Structure 1
Amino acid sequence: MPPSRPDPATLAATLPATPALPPVERWNPSLSGDMDLRITRDGAWYHEGTLIQREALIRLFASILRCDEDSHHYLITPVEKWRIRVDDAPFRAVRLDVTGTGREQILSFTTNVGDMIAAGSDHPLSVEYQTPGGEPAPYLQVRGRLRALLTRAVFLELAELGEERPSDQGRDYGVWSQGQFFSLGRLDD
């Protein structure tokens, strides 16, 4: 008699909530070449100029994405390494969840590809200014050298949680997460 099939709900309950990512940091194949794949600053993925609309395909590609020391981004498997073009950061932080307050606060971000990351020492927040006094570009370290650009709505929500703090250079405005203070910018006196 063949074994009975498990019911889908029972099978789903045995699977991890977030599947493990492939160990791309351990794979070192030779460069296979350049692929006509581009991730725009707004998080859209294009292959040969055509927008990729299948979320499952984007998530698959995101799971094998790596940024190397040369600052180039690659889709990588154990046997292939394809260089792709990323206009800014490959991911976008599209949601912010907050638990706790003050130094005990935890800021958890969700990316456009489903990663859930709590800002902290392993996943720092940073804000860059391309030009002095220009628009801020806020980032969250996701994994390896891969970052997520915070959407404007998420950054504004984050800024509402900020507080002033003295620093060596004057006063910083920033937020706490997992006991670590992250500066969002310096305040002028």
Structure 2
Amino acid sequence: MSNIDLKGLPSTAASSLPPVHTWSPPFCGDMDLVIKANGEWFHEGGKIKRPAMVTMFSRILWFDAGEYFLVTPVEKVRIQVEDAPFLVTAWQWVETELGRTIEFKTQTEDVLLLGVDSDLWMATYLGEERPYVSMRYGMKALVGRNVFYGVVDSLEPVDTSKGVGMGIISAGKTYFLLQDE
């Protein structure tokens, strides 16, 4: 079991991202850190209760070949993720240059604009259909149930290559969610 040395990590504001994509440190082993399917982070069996710590770790999270790693300029440790490493906890409609757009916010303060820097889809996890949005570096965020119910209130008729049904139009992009019967 490995712990990651954060001394080499540049200090960054919670909303900024370090240049993880430019780092190529050696693999240093596994760390006993698990991101549960409900979005909670556990280290050595105990829940990480400090949101700032979870946010800091999320900024150095990297996804490669189906595995998740915490990466600093000098080391890379593997962690376990049950489903999605991020959880969308809030949303709102905003106006952008592309028109009416859904803005999602994760538990780690990431802000995503649906149709601009993220996409929405449904997928099955342990037999349950769940909504996800795309994130940086090929990662994804689970859309929290309360958030999804709020978004569903904005469903409108859509006609896409996937069929006719109900969906969302955000930033001019259509997301098909429910098939007409």
TM-score normalised over the length of structure 1: 0.81
Between the aligned partners of 2:112 and 2:56, the Cα distance in structure 1 is 18
The residue number in structure 2 matching 1:13 is: none
CA distance in 1 between counterparts of 2:29 and 2:108 reads 25
Partner deviation per Cα, 1:106-149 (whole Å, 9 max, x = no partner): 10011001111111143111111358xx6421111121112110
**Stretches of structure 2 lacking an aligned partner (at least 5 in a row):** 1-11
Give the whole-Å Cα distance in 1 for the aligned partners of 2:68 and 2:115: 24
1:154-165 equivalent positions in 2, closer than 5 A: 154-165=147-158
The CA deviation at 1:26 is 1.3
Identify unmatched segments of 5+ residues in structure 1: 1-15
Alignment RMSD, CA only?
A: 2.0
Q: Mark the CA change 1:169 to 1:138 in structure 2 (over 3 Å): closer, same or farther.
A: closer
Q: CA deviation at 1:37?
A: 0.2
Among candidates 108, 124, 127, match of residue 122 of structure 2? 127
Distance 1:18 1:98 in 2: 23
Question: 1:61-101: per-residue Cα shift (whole Å, max 9, x none)?
Answer: 01100111x1111000111111100011111000011135x
State the distance in 2 between where 1:186 and 1:130 align: 20
Q: What do the CA deviations read for 1:142-165 (whole angstroms, capped 9, x no partner)?
A: 211121101111111111111122
User: When the two structures are aligned, how many residues end up with a matched partner?
Assistant: 168
The 1-side partners of 2:41 and 2:63 are apart by: 16
Of residues 31, 44, 53 in structure 1, which corresponds to 2:49?
A: 53
Say whether residues 1:167 and 2:156 are aligned partners: no
SS of match in other structure, 2:39: coil
1:3 is matched with none
Map of 2:29 onto structure 1: 33
Pairing of 1:12-161 with structure 2 (within 5 A): 19-68=15-64, 70-99=65-94, 104-130=99-125, 135-161=128-154
User: Identity of paired residues, percent?
Assistant: 36
**Structure in which a larger fraction of residues adopt strand:** 2
- Give the conservation status (yes or no) of the 8 Å contact 1:104–1:176: no
Secondary structure at 1:120 match in 2: coil
Change (3 A) 1:18 1:177: farther
TM-score (norm 2): 0.85
The more displaced of 120-129 and 45-54 is 120-129
Larger radius of gyration: 1
Distance (Å, rounded) in 2 between the aligned partners of 1:135 and 1:160: 21
